[in-house]
Structure 1
Amino acid sequence: MEKSLVLLDLGITVFFAIEIVIRFLASDGPKRFFSNGWNIFDTIIVIGSLIPAGGSAILLARLLRIFRVLRLVSMIPELRMLVNALLKAIPRMGYIALLMFVIFYIYGAIGSMLFANINDFLWGDVSVAMLTLFRVSTFESWTSVMYETMAVYPLSWLYYLSFIFLTAFVFLNMMVGAVLDVMTQETAAMRAEDEAKVDIPASDKPASAADVAELKQQIEELKGLLLQKAG
């Protein structure tokens, strides 16, 4: 069994090595080939797989062999599009996360001032209060935290519900919206790239607004000629 796994690992490594060599030879040169981040990633994985799994490099070799499964991402266009969308959405998500941190800090400061005398373990200072709020935002036994403070401040439920509304609904949807927006752009770009690779006949291309307007004008002219002949 172990020998079969070794042979399978060797076969996969050889297959990936041949595939990367063919892609390199089919490209327009090293500069063009390595201008694609996925090609760099695949090359690193393949070179790492060729390192003998022994000696001081055994840990590195094993790690690269584990990451070899990520080559599926570069081989399947749909997965590659998803990863590209996620990476491009990180800056937008970073700004949303920064705004979330501001909200956490404001609510944490308010909570530490109001509720520290109720439960010092949960609201002792701003940092601990922010951790408590993170627990509230994940809905982990958040009602017990709320009811404890409501025993002293009956209207404190407004504090929790407003915080949950902002973090669990507004900001979460903003995160999803940022990713979906980038995914839409990536899908359109991939579709345009596929259309550029395939020569679509003019008859198969959808009519533009100008074509439709021109066709309507021609129909109106034909109607006018028919009416003149009928008259």
Structure 2
Amino acid sequence: MRGRVRALVDDDTFQKVIIGVIILNAVVLGVETMVPEHLAHELALFDMALLGVFVIELMLRLVAYGPRFFLDPWNIFDTVIVAIALVPATGPLSVLRALRILRVLRLVNSVPSMRRVVDGLIAAMPGMGSVAALLVLMMYVAVVISTNLYGEIAPEYFGDLGTSAFTLFQTMTGEAWPDIAREVMAADPSAWIFFVVFILVMTFAVLNLFLAVVVSGMESVESLAQHEEESDAEMMAVLTSLREDLTAVREELAATREELRSTRSEV
């Protein structure tokens, strides 16, 4: 029975149906925010029916894989999302009603290409942590320097560490930083040096390190997936060769039996 259920769960048609249900559920949750109240009850019933499909799918997967179901983090992720949807969204838990849209994230687990992207991000997390620490360190240095240099010139932008941090974050994102720079340069013409160096270091150097780390993580995941595909192809080639050898051995045994029968009949 478990083998039959596993064959059903792993079937491409079954996976496509689940993907379609996930997309349909996301559309229903979006439509619920704009339909008249007299249709809200019908949509809620339809949403519950789709939720029932998710519950049945999880139960089938649990039956198919048994305890190994909980060894896959993606299965735990799906279970948590569906469990959140099953909690009654009333009273203090009414905020969970808005979290029902998280069910669309199950699409990540259902589409292999999306899973590879997320796996790449997860693989890049250690490197991203180092880059984030470098970013915070460089940001703190720039905040202290800017507060000391321009705190009296433009207190609305650099009056204290918190204000300076927000101003430099705005500068780092490229939002209206020329206006801030011109206001400071009106009192200190050399202030452009600080802003240009800050943007070059933070925006064009440190932030781009995030992209480099993510790309490196994606490449490692892709190379691992390619290696697994090559290993599977080699295994299939070996199995095919063994099958051909077994077929040849069977044919030889059959021919030998025929010869023995012929010899016995002649005798």
TM-score range, shorter chain: 0.7 to 0.9
Which residue does the alignment assign to 1:217? Answer: none
Deviates more, 1:6-15 or 1:68-77: 6-15
* CA displacement, residues 38-57 of structure 1 (integer Å, 9 cap, x when unaligned): 11111223334444x46558
- Change in CA separation of 1:58 and 1:111 when aligned onto 2, cut-off 3 Å: closer
Kindly provide the amino acid, as one letter, of the partner of residue 81 in structure 1. R
- Matched to 1:87, the amino acid is I
User: Alpha carbons of 1:22 and 1:194: their partners in 2 closer, same or farther (altered >3 Å)?
Assistant: farther
Matched, 1:143 2:175: no
**Amino acid in the other structure paired with 1:138:** T
Q: 1:201 aligns with which of 237, 245, 257?
A: 237
Residue 124 of structure 2 aligns to a residue whose secondary structure is helix
Structure 2, unmatched stretches of 5+, are 1-38, 239-267
Which residue of structure 2 aligns with residue 133 of structure 1?
Answer: 168
> Which residue number corresponds to residue 75 of structure 2?
39
Give the drift of 1:25. Answer: 2.0
2:156 matched to 1:118? no
1:87 Cα deviation (Å)?
A: 3.0
Judged with a 3 Å threshold, the aligned counterparts in structure 2 of structure 1 residues 190 and 19 are, in CA distance, closer, same or farther, namely farther
Unmatched segments (≥5 aa) in structure 1: 203-231
Name which of 14, 22, 44 aligns with 1:6: 44
**Runs of 4 or more above 6 Å deviation:** none
Aligned to 2:4: none
> 2:142 maps to which residue?
107
Structure with the bigger RCO (C-alpha within 8 Å, sep 6+) is 2
Residue in 2 aligned with 1:22? 60
CA contact (8 A) 2:89 2:95 kept: no
User: Take 1:60 and 1:192, find their aligned partners in 2: how far apart are those partners?
Assistant: 44
TM-score (norm 2): 0.65
CA distance in 2, matches of 1:196, 1:60: 47
Tell me how far 1:19 sits from its aligned partner: 1.6
> In structure 1, how many angstroms separate the alpha carbons of the residues matched to 2:228 and 2:190?
57
Q: 1:140 to 1:50 in 2, by over 3 A?
A: closer
Identity rate of aligned residues, in percent?
Answer: 34
Match of 1:178, SS state, is helix
> What amino acid does structure 2 have at the position aligned with 1:104?
M
How many residues end up aligned between the 2 structures? Answer: 199
Per the normalisation by structure 1, the TM-score is 0.75
Q: Which residue of 1 aligns with 2:110?
A: 75
* C-alpha RMSD over aligned residues: 2.5
Match of 1:184 among 219, 225, 237: 219
CA shift for structure 1 position 75: 0.9
**Structure 2: distance between partners of 1:147 and 1:168:** 19
